[in-house]
Amino acid sequence: MSAAADALDRRNNLVWDAIEANNPKRALDLCNTRIKRGEKADSLDVLKCYTLSLLSSVAGIPQPDLPHYSECRTLAKALTSRKTPITDTHSLGILQRIYMSMRFDGTELSGAWERAVKAVPHDLKLAKQWFLCCVRFGDLRGAQKAAMGLQKVWVHDRDFYFWAISSTMILFSSLGDDQKDRPIFKTLAYRMAVKTREDAKLSPPPARSIQKPQEIHLLLQVIATCTPKPEDALKEQLAVLDSDDIGVNSKLAEGDWWSFVRKRLEILEELKDWTRIYDICRSLIKSSVEKLEGGLPGKGDDWKIWESLLQATEELGKGGEDKTTETKEIITSHIETVPLSRNALLARIRFEKAYKVQTDGDSTGVAAAVVQYLERFQTKDCCFPDLKAEVETLDTTSKKTILEALKANAEKLVKDGKPSTKSVIAETNYLKLRYLFTIANLQDKSESAEKQDEVSSAIEALDALSISDRPETAEERIAILQSFTKDALATYNAAVSLGPTELATDNHCGDDSAILAAMACIRLYHLSPAKFKSSLLKAITVLEDALSRSVHDYQILLLLTRLYLLLGAPTTAYKIYKRLSIKQIQNDTMSHYYFSRISSLHPGDSEISRELGLISKLYHNIQRQIPDMLVTAYEQSSYGQLEGFVQLGDRLNLSYWRAISRLERLRTIRFRNEPPVDLPKAPALEWDNRDFGIMYNFELSSQPSFEARFLRTGPLQGKGWTSVFDQLEIVSDALVSKDGKLDTSVSQNILTLLQDSTVASELTEAEKKHATAVAAIASVLAESTEDAVTKLITHLEEFTKREESTTGLPWERLHENVTDLQTLTFTKLLVDNKAFKGVKALRKQQTDLKQAATAAAKVVKERLQNKDVKFVDDETVKAALEGWAGEPVEGVKKLAQELRQAQREAGRFGVNGWKKGF
């Protein structure tokens, strides 16, 4: 290294030292001093640009309003558009960091890399970084161009050839039909991929032939996407998978054998080649009981194989080819050889259900097949999920046979009157199926359920195993639920008597019985809310007790989170929710369990506002991480993952929950009068990634889930809800803008949306009133007429006239009053709006509006702080303690006190968190 270069590095290191000392202003001064002295160096200009980027952002987020932002933008553009390009990879790498952190146009940077490569055409590091830079910035055209250049210049590096194939395929998929060069990329990707396939047939195969399982996946993707004859794509893919050199049974495919087997079956199903499917599945099942070299078990005993075999049997039967006898023999033979084959036992159940044929000499029918399964798997947690879909539509006699067998098997596992872990699990599986058969189809409500004097005699007369096809009376429904609750609690107590689990992180064997008891209690409340209010307290008590033994059981945590929200205790619900430790991308699928409608339940808490901010930041962070995932996939030759990563980006960018959580955060910020934030709106809503199936559901498949029926705070938020509240945010933005201008169509848009039955079905009554009031505010802002203000005053006067409901769950009262405060927040913004205040012709109406809003705010605050409205009173606690002998009585009382306190806190947060008071 020359002396001049050493001196330049020393001067640059002084700037880096200032940056690392978190003193970017000092670093900028050092750069400017050197420039004033006439020093010229690419690294100096890049360092100055990087320092300016640090001074133009706050907490890593670029701030265009800061004084150094425009200078940073101008300098960055000048550096990347120079005729004499920067060729130093270190300086270009720093520019890349600047463009990523400041969110500048990435095509400018990829252009700089391209010019650098043209200036130094044989620099491998430079050319490779050009390609990876384009991938990181989503410049698909640039990436394809860079990859083609790499594979042309460095022909001996086989990875570059596959980079070119995959980047060309991705570019083709991204282009619209109106792009003229789209067919060119389609043909290019297909021809290059087919060339690797043809080369694989040669001996020895050349370097650019297919040599890895991931390259087979890439070939299949290219054929599916880019084949010149789309109608033959499936046959072409099948030919690849059937081939000897790179097919399913080739040595090359061994590393990912199962995925290729499943892919071939999927293709054959689309081609409806049922004979071929049957032969393949029969062969695989036969090979699964054989031993391979070295004594390893063979392949084939997979549920996908059994499922395809049964489907092929059915489809061939429709065509006149009867395979039932052969299929029966395959299943029976496999069970005899491998008695603990779970898949074979399930296949027998489904086979019996479909064909109703005798499969052995001792018993017949689905019930017998289920009993055979139970003998081996009743003590496993997989029992109910395996059987639910197969048994829920059986006749009454079969259901009773299954329940009796379950009960008998469970009792056999109890030795000398002492339960064991296996006996508890078996009893719990019995309870799950009993719930499915006897409770899942009960009606939710009944007016005659108020007659309680006949209940006790009905309980005594009820046979726990009776399954009736006729509609039960109200008393029978109550008796069934109370009897079930009693038995579930008995099973839970038996589990508790076994003592704690070996590890604190393990779930206790009694957890599921506690959940079943809680679900029955919740159903009991919905049968008669006035009489069984205490059953919700019972449900929470048993769940809290179970949670003390299984501190990480997410099923209990989710159920408690929703129960506390329903009971108007969002603070306690949040403490439970935090124990789920939901992180990163999980928020897109899981955080809705707490944060749905949180802006109208608990917007006053700063912790909630902060958490919503983290969820919003998550989407930005993951969108930045996906390019790095793509780079890693290219570097590790994981071509089969590229399409998945691209789709992941789309799923998050167009996520329902991204749009909903954004609105929840904006509403919370406005409610708390926090500084506004710029949250980009999702371009569209296409992917609902929320996971509603993770919670236990013992309901019939033909009915809504338990979570949907009993545990939601209002209708499910979706496109309709977001469309309405997006319009309300337009009104909010206009209210805080300097000119206060708003198009007259906004008010009409809101009212039109509310008239749409699909949209209205996603809103609560309180949200509909809120949207109607904001539409009136929008009309006032857009028209500034006396009539518009009068209509708004009428809406506000309804707040004071409305009688507060004392029925229903507490969340409804909380939601209604906090939503009223949200409406008053909009009204306050209107009253303070300079454009509205400047209309001299409305002086009197402005005064009347302020008076009406002040009166309404006073009433709403009093309602939120009303201590006389109690859901959990002394009578509820007393009722909850009935029949709880041996249970933690003091714990119930303490829980009731904590719940009452949490409900009071919810009202306090609602008032104190409202920063827009008149």
> Measured between alpha carbons, how far is 212 from 640 in angstroms, rounded to an integer?
11
In a domain, 808, yes or no: yes
> Measured between alpha carbons, how far is 109 from 115 in angstroms, rounded to an integer?
10
For 762-796, the pLDDT digits (tens) are: 999 999 999 999 999 999 998 888 888 888 888 88
Tell me the pLDDT band of 426, cut-offs 50, 70 and 90.
very high
In a domain, 730, yes or no: yes
pLDDT at residue number 457: 37
In a domain, 106, yes or no: no
Tell me the pLDDT band of 806, cut-offs 50, 70 and 90.
low
Higher pLDDT, 539 or 802: 539
Cis, peptide link before residue 206, omega less than 30° from 0:
no
Stretch 75-81: mean pLDDT, rounded?
94
The DSSP secondary structure of 484-522, one letter per residue, reads HHHHHHHHHHHHHTT---SSTTSPPTTHHHHHHHHHHHH
Q: Take residue 871 and report the two structure tokens written for it.
A: 């859901």
357 closest CA partner among 303, 310, 404: 310
655 forms beta bridges with 687
Helix (H, G, I), strand (E, B) or coil at 600: helix
Q: 688 near 717, Cβ under 8 Å?
A: no
For the chain, report the end-to-end CA distance as a whole number of angstroms.
71
For 190-243, the pLDDT digits (tens) are: 999 999 999 888 888 888 999 999 999 999 999 999 999 999 999 999 999 999
Stretch 63-80: mean pLDDT, rounded?
92
Higher pLDDT, 202 or 432: 432
Containing structural domain, residue 821: 714-869
For 434-443, the pLDDT digits (tens) are: 999 999 888 6
Higher pLDDT, 893 or 536: 536
Segment of 249-258, 454-463, 749-758 carrying the highest mean pLDDT: 749-758
pLDDT higher than threshold 90 for residue 32: yes
> Measured between alpha carbons, how far is 778 from 732 in angstroms, rounded to an integer?
9
DSSP secondary-structure letter at 83?
S
418 forms beta bridges with 415
Percent of the chain with pLDDT over 90: 59
pLDDT at residue number 724: 97
Residues in the chain: 918
DSSP secondary-structure letter at 805?
P
pLDDT at residue number 900: 75
In a domain, 728, yes or no: yes
pTM of the predicted model over 0.85: yes
Q: 552 near 527, Cβ under 8 Å?
A: no
Give the CA distances from residue 19 to residues 76, 319, 498, 518, in Å, rounded to whole numbers and listed in that order. Answer: 18, 76, 61, 58
pLDDT at residue number 891: 63
Q: Take residue 712 and report the two structure tokens written for it.
A: 């939601």
In a domain, 780, yes or no: yes
pLDDT at residue number 634: 94
In a domain, 185, yes or no: no
Q: What is the CA radius of gyration of the chain?
A: 34
For 300-356, the pLDDT digits (tens) are: 789 999 999 999 999 999 988 999 999 999 999 999 988 989 999 999 999 998 886
CA 51 to chain centre: 39
Sign of the Cα pseudo-torsion (721, 726, 731, 735, in order) = positive
pLDDT higher than threshold 50 for residue 461: no
415 forms beta bridges with 418
Antiparallel, parallel or unpaired: β 61-62 and 57-58: antiparallel
pLDDT at residue number 458: 36
> Measured between alpha carbons, how far is 299 from 369 in angstroms, rounded to an integer?
25
In a domain, 765, yes or no: yes
pLDDT at residue number 877: 67
pLDDT higher than threshold 60 for residue 464: no
721 closest CA partner among 794, 770, 652: 770
Average pLDDT, the chain: 87
Instruction: Determine the Cα angle at 740 with ends 738 and 746, to 5°.
Output: 145
Q: 600 near 766, Cβ under 8 Å?
A: yes
Tell me the pLDDT band of 361, cut-offs 50, 70 and 90.
very low
38 φψ region: left (φ > 0), alpha (ψ -120 to 50), beta (else): left
570 closest CA partner among 915, 857, 867, 904: 904
pLDDT higher than threshold 70 for residue 144: yes
> Measured between alpha carbons, how far is 708 from 697 in angstroms, rounded to an integer?
10
Tell me the pLDDT band of 377, cut-offs 50, 70 and 90.
very high
Residue 745: how many other CB atoms lie within 10 Å: 12
Q: Take residue 120 and report the two structure tokens written for it.
A: 């130094």
Stretch 533-561: mean pLDDT, rounded?
92
Least confidently predicted of 58-62, 161-165, 399-403, 592-596: 58-62
Q: Take residue 738 and report the two structure tokens written for it.
A: 């300097």
In a domain, 817, yes or no: yes
Tell me the pLDDT band of 362, cut-offs 50, 70 and 90.
very low
Give the CA distances from residue 346 to residues 288, 659, 670, in Å, rounded to whole numbers and listed in that order. Answer: 16, 41, 55
Question: If you search the block for the tokens 């249970």, which residue do you land on?
Answer: 887
pLDDT higher than threshold 50 for residue 293: no
The count of C-alpha atoms lying within 13 angstroms of the C-alpha of 304, restricted to the half-sphere facing its C-beta, is: 13
Question: If you search the block for the tokens 């800061």, which residue do you land on?
Answer: 66
The DSSP secondary structure of 870-901, one letter per residue, reads -SS-HHHHHHHHTT-TTS-HHHHHHHHHHHHH
Instruction: Determine the Cα angle at 915 with ends 912 and 918, to 5°.
Output: 105
203 φψ region: left (φ > 0), alpha (ψ -120 to 50), beta (else): beta
Stretch 797-806: mean pLDDT, rounded?
75
Stretch 275-282: mean pLDDT, rounded?
95
pLDDT at residue number 313: 95
Residue ranges with strand state E in 631-703 = none
pLDDT at residue number 2: 62
61 forms beta bridges with 58
Question: If you search the block for the tokens 């199962």, which residue do you land on?
Answer: 258
Q: Take residue 88 and report the two structure tokens written for it.
A: 């130093």
Domain tally, the chain: 1
